[in-house]
């Protein structure tokens, strides 16, 4: 059955309507149930009421830090699956802290986090599949891309941020890993966000400018970045798996592309896909 959330954030309205400007989020009530979404970030404030007890702290790769003392990870998790601000409102949200409370981390920590997810999901109980949302990046690194590819080949769908450099995503990791589903950002007027990276390695665009979601200390905040676009696609992946059955990560990224709204976006270079994430509802 289709549910309609009135007065939803613009990004949720956008991914569930063919035209821009809607604040009604339309979605099937399966809502990502049975899918596990790992958020590799600064952590998740699991006690935030918006998560309704569906968020679990799994592991920190930052010494001495076992909570989200920043907010970025809680915001991203809220876009994946919070009650009000989330795409997949019944998904399990799993915190893997690879960024510290200042919002930075090391590639060694990010790689360790990806290796952990590759193993963890096999015994986690995720009948509708495992999805990783990674709103992070840095300079090109073959070892980071290799770890991302290994996680995908283990069966985990990976949504990654294209980056906020206004440049070609091929220069950054893990955005440049071909087997990841790499996400660029858009505005509420269907323009590529000015900061969003682009190029042949971007797979899909999603709302990323002025995105309202959960924040630490039980709060909310509106922020911008390809970091905000990425969890829209991770939530959509969970949603489609729960609704239509689990498919491989490669098939799921292709399904997201095939379902997307085509040629609606301005400011997208010719060499970059003009595809806006859409749930088909």
Q: Are 10 and 213 in contact (CB under 8 A)?
A: no
Q: Which of 72, 133, 135, 176 is catalytic?
A: 72
Cα atoms in the 13 Å half-sphere on the side-chain side of 151 = 34
Residue 75 falls in the annotated catalytic set: no
**DSSP codes, the chain:** -EEEETT--HHHHHHT-SSTT---EEEETTTTTT-EEEEEES---TT-GGGTT-EEEEEE-STT--S-SSSHHHHHHHHHH-TTT-SSTT-EEEEEE-S-TTS---HHHHHHHHHHHHHHGGGT--TT-EEEEE---EE--HHHHHHHHHHHHTT-EEEEE--SSSSBGGGEETTT-TTSEEEEEE-TTSBB-TT--BSTT--EEEE-SSEEEEETTTEEEEE-SHHHHHHHHHHHHHHHHHHH----HHHHHHHHHHHSEES--BS--TTS--EE-----
Residue 72 falls in the annotated catalytic set: yes
Q: Which of 173, 179, 209, 227 is catalytic?
A: 227
Q: Which of 41, 168, 190, 203 is catalytic?
A: 41
Tell me phi and psi for residue 52, to 5 degrees.
55, 30
Residue 227 falls in the annotated catalytic set: yes
Q: Are 180 and 160 in contact (CB under 8 A)?
A: yes
Residues that are catalytic: 41, 72, 227
């Amino acid at each position: 059955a289709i549910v309609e959330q009135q007065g939803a954030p613009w990004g949720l309205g956008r991914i569930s309507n063919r035209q821009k400007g809607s604040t009604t989020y339309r979605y099937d009530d399966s809502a990502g149930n049975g899918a596990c979404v790992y958020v590799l970030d600064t952590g998740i404030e699991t006690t935030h009421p918006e998560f309704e007890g569906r968020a679990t702290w799994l592991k920190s790769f930052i010494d001495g830090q076992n909570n989200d003392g920043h907010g970025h990870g809680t915001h991203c998790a809220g876009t994946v699956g919070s009650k009000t601000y989330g795409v997949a409102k019944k998904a399990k949200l799993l915190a893997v802290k690879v960024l510290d409370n200042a919002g930075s981390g090391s590639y060694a920590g990010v790689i360790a986090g990806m290796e952990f997810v590759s193993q963890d999901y096999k015994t986690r109980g995720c009948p509708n599949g495992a999805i990783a949302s990674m709103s992070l990046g840095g300079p090109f690194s073959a070892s980071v891309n290799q770890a991302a590819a290994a996680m995908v080949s283990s069966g985990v769908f990976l949504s990654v941020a294209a980056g906020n450099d206004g440049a070609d995503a091929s220069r950054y990791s893990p955005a440049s890993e071909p087997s990841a589903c790499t996400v660029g950002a858009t505005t509420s007027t269907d323009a590529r966000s000015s900061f969003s990276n682009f190029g042949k390695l971007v797979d899909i665009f999603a709302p990323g400018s002025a995105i309202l979601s959960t924040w630490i200390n039980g709060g909310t905040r509106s922020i911008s970045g390809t970091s905000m676009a990425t969890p829209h696609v991770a939530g959509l992946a969970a949603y489609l798996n729960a609704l239509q059955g689990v498919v491989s990560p490669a098939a799921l990224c292709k399904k997201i592309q095939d379902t997307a709204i085509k040629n609606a976006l301005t400011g997208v270079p010719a060499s970059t896909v003009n595809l806006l994430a859409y749930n088909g509802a």
